[in-house]
């Protein structure tokens, strides 16, 4: 079976299963990049030609391009779902991605305020502004916003674009 035909059939299956348009769009883009890589670097155009080793070479290729582990794992997820579909539909005898592991992602450390820093913030507000019904919620909002901003800046990728 032609690899691009498998991708089209898989995307049609995703549509039938009522996956979101964003998910289908992302799968389409990710799998198209993988298909182009296979064709250009390994001459693979048929599903039957695809090997586990070529999938691992693709991981290495992405790493050499400087792609982040989260990006590589997103690409791998699309490839794994496609291979699982091919196996489920009995286009392949084995699950090609069974021995392909995700890339290790660095742990995200979230810097939070210590008790001492919070006391200093409260003390500052107490000296400069009397803590009133207005000032205290602003302080709590500042602390909450700072913690949320720190989390967003270190751990979550930007949301996918809608088509």
Return left, alpha or beta for 43; rule: phi > 0 is left, psi -120 to 50 is alpha, else beta: left
The answer to whether 55 touches 80, Cβ cutoff 8 Å, is no
Classified by CATH at the fold level, domain 3-88 comes out as: DNA polymerase; domain 1 (1.10.150)
**pLDDT of 36-74, one tens digit each?**
999 999 999 999 999 999 999 999 999 999 999 999 999
Q: What gap in Å lies between CA 160 and CA 90, rounded to an integer?
A: 32
Is the model's pLDDT at 151 over the cut of 60?
no
pTM: predicted TM-score of the whole model, two decimal places? 0.68
Indicate the domain borders of the chain.
3-88, 115-155
């Amino acid at each position: 079976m032609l690899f691009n035909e498998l991708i089209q059939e898989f995307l049609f299956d995703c549509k039938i299963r009522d996956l979101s348009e964003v998910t289908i769009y992302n799968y389409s883009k990710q799998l198209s990049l993988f298909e182009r890589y296979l064709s250009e670097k390994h001459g693979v155009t048929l599903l039957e030609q695809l090997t586990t080793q070529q999938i691992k070479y693709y991981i290495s290729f992405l790493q050499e391009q400087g792609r982040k582990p989260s990006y590589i794992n997103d690409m791998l997820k699309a490839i794994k779902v496609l291979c699982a579909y091919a196996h489920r539909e009995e286009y392949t005898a084995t699950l090609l991605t069974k021995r392909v592991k995700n890339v290790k992602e660095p742990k995200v450390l979230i810097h939070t305020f210590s008790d001492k820093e919070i006391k200093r913030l409260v003390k500052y507000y107490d000296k400069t502004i009397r803590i009133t019904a207005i000032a205290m919620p602003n302080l709590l909002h500042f602390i909450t916003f700072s913690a949320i901003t720190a989390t967003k800046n270190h751990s979550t990728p930007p949301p996918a674009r809608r088509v």
